[in-house]
């Protein structure tokens, strides 16, 4: 009994020592910058001044009283909602199709993942070319079909810029949703499906009563991860529109960058980042709960 207790204590110490490097990396790369940004949000820190003073909640009052901040929150909500639900729905449908056994299915699955592994910056430039007002392929295509009478500057108009960014985001992240949902579909027990068919269930009932309950946890995980990813998305937005025109595509991620490296107000940028983190924490909490 004593030897077993001693062995268990020794294993615990070894486990702790093995975890120390990872804990140090986490504290240096994640925890310290996070805590430092929270402290910074209570100061008037700036990139153009060597010193800073404690200002309490002045930055928070300034941010929430900014007439543009509700627009930023609305843009963030629109981008996250549309940039999550559209690729999730299309990825779900595409996964259902690719789950069928047909010739060339494996090749199409691999081909579908190409746009997921392309860097966001390259995707941004690609869709900038497609949506370009003068020589974009989209205008040329729509003009040839007679759907429009003159060229449209898709990314230069407040009413269409967000649509263009969401289309690019959908093209980029749909394969992510498809890959995980397809993995869930392939784990569904075929014996259960066949038993339901023997009992007289049609395709719709089999999908609703057998397949969907079996992959519900996968769907929730993909949905929550997609929401968190959309909340953090920055590079595609910045490359395509830089938050414009007229702040039509400025989300929280773009607002943090703009206040920090364009207006040089690090304190206000940290304030927006803290608000952004609180919102992200809510979705992260639900994700961890679902995993448990």
Quote the CATH superfamily of domain 60-291. MetI-like (1.10.3720.10)
pLDDT classification of 25: cutoffs 50, 70, 90: confident
b/e string for 10-46 if b means 16 or more Cβ within 10 A? eeeeeeeeeeeeeeeeeeeeeeeeeeebeebbbbbbb
pLDDT classification of 4: cutoffs 50, 70, 90: low
Q: 193 near 214, Cβ under 8 Å? A: no
Q: What's the rounded mean pLDDT across residues 192-214?
A: 79
CA-wise closest residue to 228 among 94, 71, 88: 88
Q: 17 near 260, Cβ under 8 Å? A: no
pLDDT classification of 283: cutoffs 50, 70, 90: confident
Bigger pLDDT: 288 or 231?
A: 231
Tokens representing 244 are 């414009």
Assess whether pLDDT exceeds 90 at residue 213.
Answer: no
Tokens representing 260 are 């920090």
Q: Which of 22-26, 200-204, 278-282 has the lowest mean pLDDT?
A: 200-204
Per-residue confidence (pLDDT) for residue 22, from 0 to 100: 82
**Which residues, other chains included, contact 58 with Cβ-Cβ below 8 Å and sequence gap of 6+?**
44
Per-residue confidence (pLDDT) for residue 6, from 0 to 100: 53
**Mean pLDDT for the chain overall:** 86
Q: What's the rounded mean pLDDT across residues 150-165?
A: 92
End-to-end alpha carbon distance in the chain: 33
Per-residue confidence (pLDDT) for residue 10, from 0 to 100: 64
- The ranges assigned to domains in the chain are 60-291
Per-residue confidence (pLDDT) for residue 90, from 0 to 100: 94
DSSP state at residue 54:
B
Per-residue confidence (pLDDT) for residue 14, from 0 to 100: 74
Per-residue confidence (pLDDT) for residue 8, from 0 to 100: 59
**Which residues, other chains included, contact 214 with Cβ-Cβ below 8 Å and sequence gap of 6+?**
184, 187, 188, 189, 192
Assess whether pLDDT exceeds 80 at residue 35.
Answer: yes
Which ranges of 118-265 does DSSP label H, i.e. alpha helix? 120-130, 137-145, 161-186, 190-198, 203-206, 212-214, 216-232, 235-240, 252-261
133-149 tens-digit pLDDT = 888 899 999 999 888 88
pLDDT classification of 160: cutoffs 50, 70, 90: very high
Per-residue confidence (pLDDT) for residue 125, from 0 to 100: 93
Q: What is the pTM of this model?
A: 0.87
**Beta strand spans in 36-119 (E):** none
Assess whether pLDDT exceeds 70 at residue 289.
Answer: no
Highest mean pLDDT, choosing among 4-18, 126-140, 201-215, 275-289: 126-140
Tokens representing 142 are 């729509």
51-106 tens-digit pLDDT = 888 988 999 999 999 999 999 999 999 999 999 999 999 999 999 888 887 787 77
Per-residue confidence (pLDDT) for residue 167, from 0 to 100: 95
pLDDT classification of 28: cutoffs 50, 70, 90: confident
């Amino acid at each position: 009994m004593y030897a077993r207790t001693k062995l268990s204590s020794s294993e615990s110490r070894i486990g702790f020592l093995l975890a120390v490097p990872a804990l140090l990396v986490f504290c240096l790369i994640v925890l310290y910058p996070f805590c430092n940004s929270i402290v910074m949000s209570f100061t008037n820190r700036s990139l153009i001044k060597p010193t800073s003073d404690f200002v309490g909640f002045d930055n928070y009052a300034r941010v929430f009283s900014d007439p543009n901040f509700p627009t930023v929150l609305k843009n963030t909500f629109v981008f996250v909602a549309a940039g999550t639900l559209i690729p999730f729905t299309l990825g779900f449908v595409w996964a259902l199709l690719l789950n069928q056994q047909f010739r060339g299915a494996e090749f199409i699955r691999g081909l579908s993942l190409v746009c997921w592994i392309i860097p966001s910056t390259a995707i941004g430039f690609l869709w900038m070319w497609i949506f370009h007002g003068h020589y974009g392929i989209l205008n040329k295509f729509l003009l040839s079909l007679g759907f429009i009478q003159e060229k449209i500057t898709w990314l230069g108009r407040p009413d269409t810029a967000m649509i263009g960014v969401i289309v690019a985001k959908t093209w980029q992240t749909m394969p992510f949703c498809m890959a995980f949902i397809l993995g869930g579909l392939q784990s569904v027990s075929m014996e259960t499906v066949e038993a339901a068919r023997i009992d007289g269930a049609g395709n719709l009932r089999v999908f609703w009563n057998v397949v969907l309950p079996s992959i519900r946890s996968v769907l929730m995980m993909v949905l929550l991860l997609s929401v968190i990813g959309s909340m953090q998305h920055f590079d595609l937005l910045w490359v395509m529109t830089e938050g414009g025109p007229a702040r039509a595509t400025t989300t929280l991620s773009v607002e943090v960058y703009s206040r920090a490296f364009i207006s040089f107000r690090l304190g206000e940028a940290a304030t927006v980042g803290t608000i952004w983190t609180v919102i992200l924490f809510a979705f992260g909490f639900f994700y961890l709960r679902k995993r448990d």
